[in-house]
Each structure stands twice: as C-alpha cells, then as structure tokens.
Chain A
C-alpha cells in the first residue's frame, strides 16, 4: 500500500529526489541497456519500502504459522527476494500481465492481493484469495495467473497471455517468471522459439536465487549465464537485490516489448533466506555463513533503507512507523487467517466448470450425492 507521512520528525534538509547509480548491467545482444542512473522519489521509496517490508513480515509470519502446523503442505517463502517482485511491478502497470511459479506470495501481493486473503489462503480458510481451494501455490488476481506448481509450465502459459495481448492489440505485455532450476526446462526453449517467431510482447525473467531446491546452479546448468540462454533473444542481467536496478531493467524491457521488438530476457541475481520450502532447513547444500553474508551485505530492504536515510529522503522514525504499521497489518491478517472458518463442505465440488448448470459429482461411495455448481 502507499504510505502517507504526516510529516513528523523530518530532517530539515530532506530532498525529494535522489540520483543513484545502479551496479553494472550485463548485456546480451543489446547495444545499450537500461540507464545507468535512476531517480527515486520519496513517495516511490516509501512505497517500495513498505511493500517489501510487508512481503518480508508476511513470509516470516507464514514461517511461524507453518511451524505451529496452522499452515500445511507446501510453503515456499520469498524472503530475500522482495526487490524482484516490487521492482518488477515498478516497471509495469496493473494492466500488464504476470505469471510466476510456486514462490508466489510476494507477487500475489504486488498484483493486488491483500495480506489477509493471502494468509487465509495459506491457512485454508473460506476468506482465502482462492476460497481455500488453491493453497500456497495457486493464488490468482486480475492479470495475475498464479502461482503454478509444475516447474516451467508457467512459461508457455505466459507466452499465451502475451499472444492474447498482441491478438487483442491492447499494448499490454506479459511478464513470465521462472527460477534457475526451471531455466533448463525444454518447454522454456520451445517458448523462446515461438515468442521470437511471433514477436510476442513477453518479458522472460529468470529469478536466479542460486539454488534449484538443493541443487546449486553450478550443479544443474552447463551454462549459468541465464540471461544468455535465450540465444537469439536479447538479454540483460542485473542485481535482483536492488529494487531500483530491477525497476529500471523492467522499464527498459517493457519499452522493448511495447515497441514491437518481441521478447526480451532478464536475469535477476537474488537470494532466498529460507530453504526451498518449509520442509527444507536450507543448510545441507549451502552454508549458514553464506546466508548470513547475504543478509548483512545485500539485504534488499536494508539497502533501500540506507539509501533513503543517507539521502535524507526519510527519517528513521518515519520508517519505524511504517514497520509498526506493517507489523500490525500482518498481525491482523494472521488473526483473520487463524480464526476465519474453513470452507463449507458445500464448496467441495464447486468450480469444476464455468457457466454450467449444477451437476452431480461422484463421492467416495456411490450412495452419497454431491453437487457441483459453477
């Protein structure tokens, strides 16, 4: 959400704008990349800060609830990668489209979902964003197509959405995300081919967090230069821990698509603090020292906070107020998520078919009659 400051405790000489120089950008088949300077306004900074902090706190709360066995099944947490989701959204609009894999809670939020309905979906309640029918990996909002459980499958789906954008002539594009683990999937290369042939308005984004489950990139990929794997597709690689880098790269990529040039590929170098999922402690295939080092040197939220403070774009108290507000939002959401009732049994068979008359569904035994409604 957008945070409105009351103006309290501001440093006297605060500036509204600041120029930052992003880290280097690696280019593939591109003469030039995104601009080397980015402008961050105070409002943008506060918005990005709040959204990233919300994702962070939401994921940590999910961790807690999972350990209390209130969330069950698969739970793939996004803490560490917040700058990717927030930066990408900063480079596109809500009329554009986005699809990702199963590490999707952050995107569900940036794409318009609320913390309440996300958490209630994790706890499997009727107030969940998918009414408890989907769970962690299957959350949807307008122009956000999940949340997809099968590694790699979301990429051709995203190209299909892009095809629809081109077909309908609406100047929209589709961002199609996948991880370093998925990057070797055959169907992704099939999608590179068709997207290029047909000049689809698609931005392929590889969130390279260094590990596909327990397999490091060196052990899974003959080439770890994921931004080059599109071969004939132009690519760029940027620091995925820096929300401004991500935003500028996304803006650049979006311009490329909207000018009719076809697909483009972005690799975001990022990191996840948690293991692959809640059942993975995340330390059998990497060291605690490595995790700690990333936390202390490259945390996306700290990086933005330091920038804003050192450029007098916000005060410590202001940011603390945001933290408190976020904490409260998460607590309220968790409260809802743990007290909202589970879906009614009537809902068991609903939503099989759209726009259909109700029909009978076979239950576990032939004598029980269940009904499906659209």
Chain B
C-alpha cells in the first residue's frame, strides 16, 4: 500500500455515521438511473454496451434485464449519429440519458452536444427545450494513454446553454445524476472511472428515492481557516488527504467541492476566500484556459480579491498529452504532495 491509499482509507473511515449504508460511486450512479427509469417512462438510456454488456464500466449493470430493449439501447459505435438521435428524441419529448463510453469519444459528437442541444432553447426563443443528460467517465484513468485521458470540464464548461456537473463521491453521484435527469435542460455529467469502485457511507436521507442535489451549488467538505482549496471530481479526495497531512502541521485547509462546473458557484468560493485569505485550485485537467483559470479570474473580479493575502494559484495536470508508462503517468497528474507543496508556498511556509 502506498501513502495515498493509506490516507484515503483514513478519510473514508472517519466519515462513518449512524444508519449509513456503504455504496460505491458506480452503484450510486446505477441506483440513481434505476430509480429515475422507474419514476418516469420517458427516461431511457442509450450508448455503447449499456445493455447486454451491462455497461463498459458496469455502471448500467442490471438495467437492461429489468427494463428491456425499449429503454436500454445498445448503439453501434457511431457517436455523432447516436448523440444526434438522443438530442432529437429529447426534442420530441423523451428524456434520454446518452452515455459516452468515455468523454474522449464525445469529440466525435461535440457538434450535437453544443449546436443541437445547448443552443436550441435560446435559438428557438424558448419554444424547444432539450431535456437530455450526456454522461460518462471523464479525465485521466490508469494506463489508458493520451487519447483516452483528457478532461473536458473546461471545454463544456465554456458553453452557455449547458449545465456541466462533476461529482466526486457517491452522494454527489447519486444526487446530481437524479437532478440532471429531472432537469429539463442539457446536462453534461462528468464521472471519473477511478472513483467508480470507491465506497462511501450514505445516510438514509441520501438513499431516499427523491433525494436530489442542487445543480450549481458547491459543498464545503472540510471547514478550515488558513487556506481555501477548490476542486472537483477525484481531486477533491486528494485535497482532503492533503488537508489531513497539513493539519498535523497546524494548517487548517477549507476544502470546497465544486460539484458543478457550470454554473460555477462563485459565492461559496468567495465566502471561503474572504474567510481564509488564500486560494489554491486543484484540477486534473490541463492548465491553459482551465477550470482553475476561470476561478482565479472570477475571484480577481469580485469582492474576495481584497481579502487575498497572496495571489491565487492553480494546481493542475501537467501540460502534456498523457503518457503511458506508470512513472510518467504518475507525474502527469496532480499528486497530494503537489497540493501540500503549493499550500505551503502560498502560505509562505
């Protein structure tokens, strides 16, 4: 076991609460879809291998057995075509969940996501809503190399007309996916393959079939006073791990889990920065024109700037295509030590 894994276990163990059930992110997504399929006949799932294969990453396991061919549809490997079909089905009143096996393949279909889905309600002056969810794993995985490791948070987060959501843990996955499916607008739902197998405790309240989380609201995962760490998806866990280490040296980090990329919850970030006076953003994606860049720009333009005691700094993926060899890959993504190092630099320690 390496240090990262050990620290992750510590964080998980400390979260146990009464009347809780352990659910990993994969199962949280699966249950969310199952419940929403049951709740509304117009909801259906399409994508590659979602039906008879039980999902390339098993996220849709058991759904085809339960709901059949009409509602769980295996598509050929033709992203542009099936994404367009999904959007057209949404035009005509259905509520499709369109899975991209990974978000890398969405580039084949990106015109349908942006030009057909995101912009239509506006172009039609409100005549044509598009109630669709696009979902799938995003960002780096393990050993899948350059073409299968890109993070699309910044690309989709750039576009008006889309809601872009990036859950970290099982509660996020469950509540945000249910919210996304119930939303009457196009939602880009960015999952993370390495999080699928990670278990979290979920309370009875979270397990309720109508539990939804608000899209566009960040969550403070850990209170702190010295510095604000803002992150999304898997990196939230790294921030919490870094915070645990830093706490031993007397540095209390406030960790903000964005949960939603667009619309960005600037108010929660500002409130935190106005409290701590220091900001570090952490993301897996590339630095240029990224999520962290947007957060820093907004903080500069808003009331929190006057509370900053040091420039805001970003921790990001390395600005290269993802290499294959493990040692190289490990050095291409932000590690816990990078976060700790950055915090100390920003705090002038």
Residues of A bordering B, CB below 8 Å: 97, 99, 130-134, 138, 140, 145-146, 148-150, 153, 155-165, 167-168, 174, 186-187, 190-191, 193-194, 197-198, 350-356, 359, 361, 366, 374
User: Do residues B80 and A187 form an inter-chain contact, with CB atoms below 8 A?
Assistant: yes
Nearest-Cβ distance from residue A332 to partner chain B, whole angstroms: 23
Contact pattern, B 78-97, Cβ under 8 Å of A = 1, otherwise 0 = 10111111111111111010
User: Do residues A156 and B75 form an inter-chain contact, with CB atoms below 8 A?
Assistant: no
**What chain B residues lie within 8 Å of A153 (beta carbons)?**
84, 111-112, 115-116
**What chain A residues lie within 8 Å of B131 (beta carbons)?**
354
How far does the alpha carbon of A132 sit from the alpha carbon of B125 in the complex, in Å?
8
The residue on B at minimum CB distance from A135 is: B123
**What chain B residues lie within 8 Å of A159 (beta carbons)?**
81, 84-85, 88
Which of B94, B129, B160 is the one whose CB lies under 8 Å from A354? B129
Contact pattern, B 255-287, Cβ under 8 Å of A = 1, otherwise 0 = 000000001000000000000000000000000
Nearest-Cβ distance from residue A252 to partner chain B, whole angstroms: 24
User: Do residues B78 and A157 form an inter-chain contact, with CB atoms below 8 A?
Assistant: no
Consensus secondary structure, chain B interface: mixed
How far does the alpha carbon of A133 sit from the alpha carbon of B128 in the complex, in Å?
13
User: In chain B between 32 and 56, which residues have their CB closer than 8 angstroms to a CB of chain A?
Assistant: 44
How far does the alpha carbon of A355 sit from the alpha carbon of B121 in the complex, in Å?
11
**B127 within 8 Å of A (CB atoms):** yes
Given known pairs A140-B128, A160-B86, the reply for A145 and B91 (CB within 8 Å) is yes
**B18 within 8 Å of A (CB atoms):** no
User: Do residues B85 and A163 form an inter-chain contact, with CB atoms below 8 A?
Assistant: yes
User: Do residues A356 and B185 form an inter-chain contact, with CB atoms below 8 A?
Assistant: yes
**B184 within 8 Å of A (CB atoms):** yes
**B250 within 8 Å of A (CB atoms):** no
**Additional 15 contacts, C-beta under 8 A, given A157-B116, A161-B92, A190-B78:** A130-B123, A140-B127, A157-B84, A157-B91, A160-B87, A164-B92, A164-B93, A187-B84, A190-B82, A194-B75, A197-B76, A350-B125, A352-B121, A352-B160, A353-B161
The residue on A at minimum CB distance from B96 is: A160
**What chain B residues lie within 8 Å of A356 (beta carbons)?**
185
**What chain B residues lie within 8 Å of A145 (beta carbons)?**
88, 91, 128
User: Do residues B124 and A140 form an inter-chain contact, with CB atoms below 8 A?
Assistant: yes
Given known pairs A155-B84, A167-B94, A191-B85, the reply for A351 and B126 (CB within 8 Å) is yes
The residue on A at minimum CB distance from B297 is: A366
User: Do residues A351 and B80 form an inter-chain contact, with CB atoms below 8 A?
Assistant: no
User: Do residues B123 and A167 form an inter-chain contact, with CB atoms below 8 A?
Assistant: no
**B70 within 8 Å of A (CB atoms):** yes
Given known pairs A130-B123, A167-B94, A353-B121, the reply for A157 and B263 (CB within 8 Å) is no
The residue on A at minimum CB distance from B85 is: A160
How far does the alpha carbon of A182 sit from the alpha carbon of B112 in the complex, in Å?
16
**What chain B residues lie within 8 Å of A160 (beta carbons)?**
84-92, 96
User: Do residues B81 and A133 form an inter-chain contact, with CB atoms below 8 A?
Assistant: no
User: Do residues B124 and A130 form an inter-chain contact, with CB atoms below 8 A?
Assistant: yes
> In this complex, which of B88, B91, B163 has the most chain A Cβ atoms within 10 angstroms of its Cβ?
B88
Nearest-Cβ distance from residue A238 to partner chain B, whole angstroms: 26
Contact pattern, B 99-125, Cβ under 8 Å of A = 1, otherwise 0 = 000000000000110011000111111
How far does the alpha carbon of A158 sit from the alpha carbon of B122 in the complex, in Å?
20
**What chain B residues lie within 8 Å of A130 (beta carbons)?**
123-125, 127
**B301 within 8 Å of A (CB atoms):** yes
The residue on B at minimum CB distance from A186 is: B80
How far does the alpha carbon of A172 sit from the alpha carbon of B128 in the complex, in Å?
19
The residue on A at minimum CB distance from B92 is: A164
The residue on A at minimum CB distance from B302 is: A366
**What chain B residues lie within 8 Å of A354 (beta carbons)?**
121, 126, 129-131, 184-185
How far does the alpha carbon of A130 sit from the alpha carbon of B119 in the complex, in Å?
13
Which of A140, A165, A187 is the one whose CB lies under 8 Å from B81? A187
Residues of B bordering A, CB below 8 Å: 44, 70, 73, 75-76, 78, 80-94, 96, 111-112, 115-116, 120-131, 160-161, 163, 184-185, 263, 301-302
**What chain B residues lie within 8 Å of A157 (beta carbons)?**
84-85, 87-88, 91, 112, 116
The residue on A at minimum CB distance from B76 is: A193
**What chain B residues lie within 8 Å of A187 (beta carbons)?**
78, 80-81, 84
Given known pairs A133-B123, A359-B263, the reply for A156 and B92 (CB within 8 Å) is no
User: Do residues A150 and B92 form an inter-chain contact, with CB atoms below 8 A?
Assistant: no
User: Do residues B70 and A167 form an inter-chain contact, with CB atoms below 8 A?
Assistant: yes
**What chain A residues lie within 8 Å of B163 (beta carbons)?**
353
Nearest-Cβ distance from residue A194 to partner chain B, whole angstroms: 6
Nearest-Cβ distance from residue A142 to partner chain B, whole angstroms: 9
How far does the alpha carbon of A273 sit from the alpha carbon of B151 in the complex, in Å?
48
How far does the alpha carbon of A142 sit from the alpha carbon of B115 in the complex, in Å?
20
How far does the alpha carbon of A356 sit from the alpha carbon of B216 in the complex, in Å?
12
Given known pairs A97-B92, A160-B91, the reply for A193 and B78 (CB within 8 Å) is yes
Nearest-Cβ distance from residue A158 to partner chain B, whole angstroms: 6
- A sample of 8 inter-chain contacts (CB < 8 A) reads A132-B125, A160-B85, A351-B126, A352-B121, A353-B163, A353-B184, A355-B129, A361-B160
Instruction: Report the 6 A-B pairs with minimum CB-CB distance, sorted nearest first.
Output: A160-B88, A156-B84, A190-B81, A164-B92, A354-B129, A157-B88
How far does the alpha carbon of A374 sit from the alpha carbon of B307 in the complex, in Å?
35
The residue on B at minimum CB distance from A361 is: B160
How far does the alpha carbon of A233 sit from the alpha carbon of B112 in the complex, in Å?
24
**What chain B residues lie within 8 Å of A197 (beta carbons)?**
76
**What chain B residues lie within 8 Å of A155 (beta carbons)?**
84
User: Do residues A352 and B92 form an inter-chain contact, with CB atoms below 8 A?
Assistant: no
How far does the alpha carbon of A56 sit from the alpha carbon of B116 in the complex, in Å?
29
How far does the alpha carbon of A101 sit from the alpha carbon of B75 in the complex, in Å?
25
The residue on A at minimum CB distance from B215 is: A356
How far does the alpha carbon of A131 sit from the alpha carbon of B125 in the complex, in Å?
6
Nearest-Cβ distance from residue B176 to partner chain A, whole angstroms: 16
How far does the alpha carbon of A87 sit from the alpha carbon of B191 in the complex, in Å?
48
